[in-house]
Amino acid sequence: MWMVRPSCLLVARRIAGYSRCLSCNACGVDLQKQDPTGKGYYIQPSKHETNFQKEIEAVKYMLFSQDIQVLKDAGKTQSQKEEHSLICKRCNDALHHNKYDLRDFPRTSIPQLYESIPLGGKLLHVVPFSEFPLGLSKKVLTDRKHDASLLLTKSDQVLSSKGTLSKYVPQFLQDFMKYQMGLTTNKTIAMSSLRNWNIELLNASLRKMTFLFGCANAGKSTLINTLSKKYTGHKVNFHKQGNLLAIDEDVKNSTKSQMAGVSHIPNMTRALQGYQIQDKVIFDLPGYTEDMDAAYLEQIVRKDWIKRVRDTALFKHERLKKKNYVTLKGTEQGSCYTLGGLFFIVPPKGTINQIVNYIPGEYSIYRNIDKALEVFKNCNANSNHALDKYCGILSSTCTKEAYIRHIIPPFRGSIEIVFKDIGYVLLRTTGKFDFMGFHEVWAPRGIKVIIREPLEKTIRASSELYIQSKGVQPACPTDRMFFSSTYEIPFGETDILSKMKEMYLERTRGKKNCVEIGNEDPFIIIERYKANTLTNPFWYYNF
């Protein structure tokens, strides 16, 4: 796999007479130019030498004949610089032409990644804060064979200011780990690579060797690039035996501009890559996939929409402050809000709702899901369709059978709906709570969906209680579940409330930190919630 000899990584050594392997600057795989169908195939850049350049070289020889060796060495260094910028054809087509075959981007499991990390190695469990708590793995954080810490990226997608990050988040995370996950640790950092939030804190936490361990598109490569820019880091190469190779100073200067391969395409990184950050080496590992059999997003969503959704730079930070919303009324026909078909939000009849979208893309509202899918099907059949810019799904997704019906447990006020690898939206109900039915979210099969109380608001409120109580009250809610899985219920099921209770009892059997409902009539449970004697009924999430 991506074997590294830890004993050799601690000291950089010059090795004479070695056979050095060139690696792709984007994905890290060894390059070769013999087999066009093989892994790592690249096309050697052609060198065009003009007559003018030849004349200059002749003048150099006449004027500086005594320094011929110096000139030769300079040419050698230039050649080394060029080697550092080489990328394989697979990555070139994907990065510059958005052309790629999913078979060339295989998934990596968690056990496979562990093979690359030495026992006792420092591991940063990288999770996007925007999807919190999706992606958090208790198994990874409690692995005794490695020293694991939690690193939350993309904090600027949920927090409106760095002040919130610095003042409230550290204690919130510490108490969250303790009360929600049962872990006593303060080894958590939240940061933003795009806005340089907590970069200094992250750098101070790095060891001589640190391995970035996270799912695909968690922001690992962007993080490395931010560190490299701030601390003049550079990419490092390895000998075939695993030794870390020292780099000439001129080549080192050139590699400062050779950043980690950042892409909207999952599994871009396919080999371990090392980067020198001051006196430390940080390793970019391929992103892991928890469900190896899950459908690829590329089999569901159009490529241009995937690129738009996953491009961190397209996230509009000002939306966190402005919170511009769209009004959606629940109707008997099942009116719905959608973002290109990536999901549908269907409110119960008679409700008035507000939706704040934090995902790049064009939204639209339809009479019902059937009408929306009909339009999207026509868009796929005709690229010149007037509504084509509102369609983000492939033709194979334009059927109800391609979706799962997610039922949201009862809530009052606002919640955030989180879609794995896509982003989140805020859903707000207006007026006093009155149970009129369930809100539904329809999402393509393979896309995980959870809900949570608005994250920044929850962090601020619970942290203020912690400060006011001088540490007596936890900085994380403990009186309720403030995040939850949804309930996947078949289309034809009509007695949703009874089915939800049945599923809740099954999920929480023998579990702690959940609302006890026993054999209560589910309608009585709703009445208790309405009377404020119960908090977040049927909310539950299992790590």
* Ramachandran sector of residue 188 (left: φ over 0; alpha: ψ -120 to 50; beta: rest): beta
Report helix angle 455-468 to 169-179, nearest 10.
90
Q: Quote the pLDDT of residue 507.
A: 93
Strand-strand pairing, 188-190 and 147-153? parallel
Please give the Cα distance from 349 to 335 (Å, whole number).
Answer: 9
Integer CA distances (angstroms), 190 to 105, 155, 183, 200, in order: 29, 6, 17, 12
Q: Quote the pLDDT of residue 14.
A: 31
Please give the Cα distance from 169 to 176 (Å, whole number).
Answer: 10
Strand-strand pairing, 352-357 and 423-429? antiparallel
Residue-wise DSSP of 153-207 = E-GGGT-S-HHHHHHTHHHHHHHHHHHTS------EEE-BTTTTBTHHHHHHH--
Integer CA distances (angstroms), 19 to 31, 41, 63, 239, 533, in order: 13, 18, 35, 8, 72
Q: Quote the pLDDT of residue 312.
A: 77
In the chain, which stretches have pLDDT less than 70? 1-21, 46-85, 102, 238-270
Report helix angle 522-530 to 496-508, nearest 10.
90
Q: Count CA within 13 A, CB hemisphere, residue 508.
A: 21
**Dihedral sign from CA coordinates of 90, 229, 130, 286:** positive
Length of the chain as a residue count: 543
Please give the Cα distance from 388 to 246 (Å, whole number).
Answer: 53
Q: Quote the pLDDT of residue 71.
A: 46
Q: Please answer whether residues 146 and 110 qualify as being in contact, where contact means their C-beta atoms are separated by less than 8 angstroms.
A: no
DSSP letter, residue 103: G
Q: Quote the pLDDT of residue 206.
A: 95
Q: Quote the pLDDT of residue 385.
A: 95
Please give the Cα distance from 133 to 539 (Å, whole number).
Answer: 14
Q: Quote the pLDDT of residue 7.
A: 39
For Cα atoms 234, 240, 242, give the angle at the middle one, nearest 5 degrees.
65
Please give the Cα distance from 192 to 248 (Å, whole number).
Answer: 32
SS3 417: strand
For Cα atoms 222, 485, 268, give the angle at the middle one, nearest 5 degrees.
25
- Give the tokens for residue 4: 């590294």
- Give the tokens for residue 487: 């309930």
- Give the tokens for residue 478: 């403990």
Q: What is the pLDDT of residues 10-62, one digit of tens each?
A: 333 332 333 345 778 777 777 888 888 788 888 877 655 445 565 666 655 55
Q: Quote the pLDDT of residue 315.
A: 81
Q: Quote the pLDDT of residue 313.
A: 76
Rounded to 5 degrees, φ, ψ at 375 are -65, -45
CB neighbours of 472 closer than 8 A, spacing ≥ 6?
none
Residue with tokens 């996953």: 310
What structural domains and CATH numbers belong to the chain?
106-284 (3.40.50.300), 297-452 (no CATH), 495-543 (no CATH)
HEC profile for 241-264? CCCEECCCHHHHHHHCCCCCCCCC
pTM (two decimals): 0.84
